[in-house]
Amino acid sequence: MKTAIIVMSDPKNGSEEALGRVFNALALAAECKQKGDEVAVVFNGTGTRWPAELTKLSHPANALYNSVRDVVQGASCGCADVFGAKESVESCGVPLKKDHALTGTSGLLSLRRYVSDGWNTVVF
């Protein structure tokens, strides 16, 4: 099974819901890894702000994030530009993806690629 986990929730809204979303996204990634599935975690939209938060040792999901860090495939470059997260994404070592050229942007992470390649997609 192939599962693409797309994180779009915004850590800056300060809600427990956003934390719950990213926690469950990472928990699903961990379960998929444990079962031997092919799994990818990507950050899109305001979700590009998450890597900077998740790499903080004090963050409640830091250990879980580190346990699935090897399946984090990247963050949308264009989204990171728009939401002011480009430098923080780069400093966390998360690749900026721009495999979908879109006029007026620096390029976006292609979500269509996962769908066309038969991946199950789950959005948090």
74-116 residue pLDDT tens: 999 999 999 999 999 999 999 999 999 999 889 999 999 999 9
| Helix residue ranges per DSSP H, 8-61 | 16-34, 50-54
- Taking the CB of residue 122, how many other CB atoms lie within 10 A of it? 15
Which strands sit side by side in the sheet containing 38-43, from one edge to the other?
96-97, 72-76, 38-43, 2-7, 120-123
Q: How many helices (H) and strands (E) does the chain have?
A: 6, 5
CATH of 2-123, one of 3.40.1260.10, 3.60.21.10, 1.10.760.10, 1.20.1070.10: 3.40.1260.10
| Residue ranges of domains in the chain | 2-123
CA torsion sign, 33 to 10 to 84 to 61? negative
Q: In this predicted model, what pLDDT tens digit does every residue of 5-31 receive, in sequence order?
A: 999 999 997 789 999 999 999 999 999
Q: For residue 68, what pLDDT is reported?
A: 98
Nearest 10 degrees: CA dihedral of 64, 1, 77, 89?
A: 10
